[in-house]
Amino acid sequence: MQKLILSITLVIFNFFLISTSTFSQDDNLYKNEKATIEDRVANLLSQMTLEEKVSQMRMFHRNQGIEISEKGKMELSDNVKERLVNGIGGIKNPGDEYSPEQSAELNNQLQKYIIEHSRLGIPAFFVTESYNGVDATGCTSFGRPISLSSSWNKALVKEVYDAIGREARLRGLHLTHSPVADIARDPRFGRMSEGFGEDTHLTTEMIVSAVSGMQGDFDGLRHTHIGAVTKHFAGYAQVAGGTNFASIEISPRTLIDEIFPPFKAAIQRAKSLGIMASHGDINGIASHANPWLLTEVLRNQWGFKGYTVSDANDIARLYSFMKVAETPEDAVMLGLTAGMDVDLYSDEAYALLPEMAKSNPEIEALVDRATRRVLRTKFILGLFDNPYQKPEEAKQNTRNEAAIELAHKADLESIILLKNDNKTLPLTKGTKQTIALVGPILDEETLAQFKNIAGDNYNFVVEKGFDLTDGNRSVPQVTAIELMVDGIQKIGSKTQNADIIVVFLGGDKFTSKEAFFGSALGDRKSIDPVGLQDQLLLKLKQTGKPVVVVLKHRRTLSINAFAEHADAILDCWELSEFGDKAVAKMIFGQATPSGKLPVTVPRSIGQIPFHYSQKEINYKKGYLFTENTPLYAFGYGLSYTSFEYSNLQLSDTLTAVDKSITASIQIENTGQTSGSEVVQLYIKDVVGSVVRPNMLLKGFEKVSLKPGETKTISLVITPQMLAFTGLDMKEVVETGAYVVMMGGSSNKLTQKGFKLVK
């Protein structure tokens, strides 16, 4: 009997050992790099407490107390330590104020702390922004997105964002709340320059380039690049009155045909890792509480498998600001049910979930859904297997010579020549001349960069005259009139002995910026140049000397006086930190402008909305006492050489709705200088079942030509390019007549028709 009992005991003991061993192995499956991501996520999720899951759905800012000492040791506030008790989904901007190597060291220590002080060792993702490159000390400063879009060069834009993705990862960052896929058509909106312009197709191609570059074609996410969080989904830049946080009025058809495509392409073509929801509403439904938008469209229709994140505090604002929730808890349920996975910043939204689940256990299924998406993101980023960076590599490879040269190359391709009367530019070499560099947008480094390019051929005098604003970050004030008048007099005195005047005008970073939720302002009711800039230009024009305007700005401006009185205008938007080097090269003929406008430039704010792709019926009537044409058309941009288009051909003039055709056109450089031209293809649907746009950009290609050289550019027109939302709100390609237009800008095109049949 004793032997029997002993035998049974041994069997039970061995079974227990085997079971314990198997359980332990299963427990650690999420740490097995060879296992599938889906299995690793499921394994980890099954072991997490509700509190740990909710922590993965939250993100806080490094300003809660994350620093590194002079001796290189991380210092955390008690507040931060408390926030990390159960782990954390992510942290915004850790180390952004430090050098790349210091940031990498801090983020290594921070990640190590998070892993070692959480029960399951779940790493966090660290998040940045990237409007001019990585928004952190020591990184390469590139041009703003709308400036890059002015290059109309998809490969170049991808290369820029590839460099941004690499620099961010080197310093220990993993995601960026960029790029912006919003269609910017209202220049009153202070955040206009964060996007890629007014056109759906151009923005779509730029977004695909940006996301693909940032993510290293998705393959780079595990080691070398960062994930893109495309924003703001959806319709954000269409705010009423052009003011941040205002309501959004978009028809369902406009939303689907014009606003959605860049986001859809970011997901389906570029595999954007994340999506950020919009501050606004669609048809009265707050975007952060919109299940149709965040689940039906984003996931069910488009197949998005990434994670969604709120814009700052916006889940809580469903209660406090949008007023669509009776209580903070109701706001949480609205966001969670709609499909919001991560709550950015708030301590009054998803932080409430553990307590809410006590009275409503069904909540945990929604928590699991969101947590699963966050964990999947972290596995894709390789954070469990490769959580740390090498500070020395960050030091060596951030803002290196290749990145600096790339920023300069992008600047050169982004500058737009708007006007060049009597071939004022480029300046011809001859007897030594004196150039006056003047104006309120003059930078401290302008003179040095001009001297570096000009060599010994020119003398320079410099006078800024006045600042446009007082530089207040929250609510900037325009410089007092008397100070601007004095500044104009100073500039006038300095330019008396100059042979050529180069005046820097437009807007500083305070005249167009984000209007933060509190008291900060950044939108404008006018798009005229701020202050006495028109008067300054008229004063300079009275000298009788050639006046070249270098236009720097973050929003479209109604530059009527500039267009009328300047001898030449170089439109730069906002270039990189080396922008004036590129400007100098243009002025001195060491480079040829090739940029094209990504927006339509109106003559007056009263013309808004004034994008080129409005419905044809919008062009029937104009206004009393003013011309109703653009000051400068979408796609416009001059060169130092000239191009001639000829022989537009279509592969078919009668084709079926499921067939593609090819449009070809010859372009010749008829000037004396090598140059690049953007060949643009537009399509007009002559008769549709719904009122159709006057024309739509559907293709473009940038081509370089030597003097006398001719090339044939061919662009394919697919059935998808002709699709739109029909009468029944379903996508349709309709039979009938179409017009193909090709040329160098939206207002100078050669055209040929074709007919689509069943």
Best CA proximity match to 495, nearest among 558, 529, 567, 546: 546
Give the percent of the chain with pLDDT over 90. Answer: 94
Read off the pLDDT of each residue in 744-756 and give the average, rounded to a whole number. 97
What pLDDT sits at residue 20? 38
Strands 654-656 and 748-757: parallel
With H, G, I as helix, E, B as strand and everything else as coil, classify residue 650.
Answer: strand
**Boundary (domain end) residue, out of 567, 585, 619:** 619
Q: 217 an active-site residue?
A: no
Average pLDDT of every residue of the chain? 95
Cα–Cα distance measured from residue 482 to residue 484, given in angstroms and rounded to the nearest whole number = 5
Contacts of 646 (CB under 8 A, 6+ apart): 665, 666, 667, 668, 750
Cα–Cα distance measured from residue 33 to residue 29, given in angstroms and rounded to the nearest whole number = 9
689-748 per-position pLDDT tens digit: 999 999 999 999 999 999 999 999 999 999 999 999 999 999 999 999 999 999 999 999
What pLDDT sits at residue 268? 98
Read off the pLDDT of each residue in 27-41 and give the average, rounded to a whole number. 96
**Boundary (domain end) residue, out of 582, 604, 619:** 619
Q: Is the pLDDT of residue 2 over 80?
A: no
Read off the pLDDT of each residue in 422-434 and give the average, rounded to a whole number. 90
Cα–Cα distance measured from residue 729 to residue 726, given in angstroms and rounded to the nearest whole number = 5
The count of domains in the chain is 3
588 plus 677 within the same structural domain = no
Distances (CA, A) of 60 to 124, 195, 342, 506: 11, 25, 11, 36
349-365 per-position pLDDT tens digit: 999 999 999 999 999 99
Helix (H) or strand (E) run with residue 571 in it:
strand 568-573
Q: Taking the model in full, what pTM does it have?
A: 0.95
Tokens of 562: 């500039």
142-174 per-position pLDDT tens digit: 999 999 999 999 999 999 999 999 999 999 999
Do the Cβ atoms of 94 and 136 come closer than 8 Å?
A: no
Q: Is the pLDDT of residue 577 over 90?
A: yes
Chain-centroid distance of CA 677 in Å reads 24
CA-based torsion, 194, 197, 199, 202: positive or negative? negative
Do the Cβ atoms of 690 and 726 come closer than 8 Å?
A: yes
435 φ/ψ angles, rounded to the nearest 5 degrees:
-110, 130
Residue 171 lies in a domain: yes
Tokens of 596: 């094209």
Tokens of 585: 């090269």
Cα–Cα distance measured from residue 111 to residue 105, given in angstroms and rounded to the nearest whole number = 10
Read off the pLDDT of each residue in 187-201 and give the average, rounded to a whole number. 97
87 plus 228 within the same structural domain = yes
Q: Which residues pair with 743 in a beta bridge?
A: 680, 749
Do the Cβ atoms of 559 and 572 come closer than 8 Å?
A: no
181 plus 234 within the same structural domain = yes
Write the CATH number for 225.
3.20.20.300
What angle is formed at CA 587 by the lines to CA 582 and CA 589, rounded to 5 degrees? 90
Tokens of 297: 């469209």
What pLDDT sits at residue 25? 56
Best CA proximity match to 745, nearest among 202, 324, 16, 278: 202
Best CA proximity match to 704, nearest among 638, 643, 750: 643
Read off the pLDDT of each residue in 240-245 and give the average, rounded to a whole number. 93
523 plus 579 within the same structural domain = yes
Write the CATH number for 731.
2.60.40.10
In sequence order, which ranges of 560-675 are alpha helices (DSSP H)? 560-565, 579-587
CA-based torsion, 561, 562, 564, 567: positive or negative? positive
Q: Kindly state the DSSP code that residue 237 receives in the 8-state scheme.
A: G
Residue 585 lies in a domain: yes
Distances (CA, A) of 119 to 41, 44, 78: 16, 11, 19
147 plus 181 within the same structural domain = yes
Residue 410 lies in a domain: no
683 φ/ψ angles, rounded to the nearest 5 degrees:
-130, 140
532 plus 574 within the same structural domain = yes
Cα–Cα distance measured from residue 610 to residue 600, given in angstroms and rounded to the nearest whole number = 7
689 plus 540 within the same structural domain = no
More confident residue, 10 or 490: 490
Cα–Cα distance measured from residue 412 to residue 594, given in angstroms and rounded to the nearest whole number = 8
Q: At what angle do helices 154-170 and 100-116 cross, to 10 degrees?
A: 60
Do the Cβ atoms of 700 and 681 come closer than 8 Å?
A: yes
List the beta strands (DSSP E) in 301-396: 307-309, 343-344
483-519 per-position pLDDT tens digit: 999 999 999 999 999 999 999 999 999 999 999 898 8
Q: 428 pLDDT band (50/70/90 cuts)? A: confident
Q: 26 pLDDT band (50/70/90 cuts)? A: confident
SS (H, E, C) 491-517: HHHHCCCCCEEEEEEECCCCCCCCCCC
Tokens of 680: 């643009």
Residue 400 lies in a domain: no
Phi-psi region of 625 (alpha: psi -120 to 50; beta: other; left: phi over 0): left
**Boundary (domain end) residue, out of 619, 654, 687:** 619
44-99 per-position pLDDT tens digit: 999 999 999 999 999 999 999 999 999 999 999 999 999 999 999 999 999 999 99
Do the Cβ atoms of 55 and 49 come closer than 8 Å?
A: no
603 plus 648 within the same structural domain = no
Residue 625 lies in a domain: no
Residue 227 lies in a domain: yes
Cα–Cα distance measured from residue 275 to residue 181, given in angstroms and rounded to the nearest whole number = 10
Read off the pLDDT of each residue in 23-44 and give the average, rounded to a whole number. 89
CA-based torsion, 73, 79, 83, 89: positive or negative? negative
* Domain range enclosing 671: 643-757
Cα–Cα distance measured from residue 355 to residue 419, given in angstroms and rounded to the nearest whole number = 64
What pLDDT sits at residue 742? 98
Do the Cβ atoms of 54 and 350 come closer than 8 Å?
A: yes
| Residue 16 CB coordination number (10 Å) | 10
Residue 630 lies in a domain: no
599 plus 708 within the same structural domain = no
583 plus 647 within the same structural domain = no
Distances (CA, A) of 228 to 231, 271, 288, 746: 9, 9, 19, 31
77 plus 184 within the same structural domain = yes
509-561 per-position pLDDT tens digit: 999 999 989 889 999 999 999 999 999 999 999 999 999 999 999 999 999 99
Contacts of 288 (CB under 8 A, 6+ apart): 277, 310, 311, 314, 315, 317, 318, 322, 334, 335, 338, 340
Tokens of 489: 């007099």
Catalytic entry in 311, 314, 467, 567? 311
Tokens of 655: 């084709």
Q: Kindly state the DSSP code that residue 708 receives in the 8-state scheme.
A: T
With H, G, I as helix, E, B as strand and everything else as coil, classify residue 687.
Answer: coil
- Surface-to-core class of residue 232, CB atoms within 10 Å of its CB (0-12 exposed, 13-18 middle, 19+ buried): buried
592-643 per-position pLDDT tens digit: 999 999 999 999 999 999 999 999 999 999 999 999 999 999 999 999 999 9
Write the CATH number for 425.
3.40.50.1700
433-450 per-position pLDDT tens digit: 999 999 999 999 999 999
Q: Kindly state the DSSP code that residue 269 receives in the 8-state scheme.
A: T
449 plus 511 within the same structural domain = yes
Q: Is the pLDDT of residue 254 over 90?
A: yes
316-354 per-position pLDDT tens digit: 999 999 999 999 999 999 999 999 999 999 999 999 999
Cα–Cα distance measured from residue 629 to residue 632, given in angstroms and rounded to the nearest whole number = 8
Read off the pLDDT of each residue in 279-305 and give the average, rounded to a whole number. 97
Residue 633 lies in a domain: no
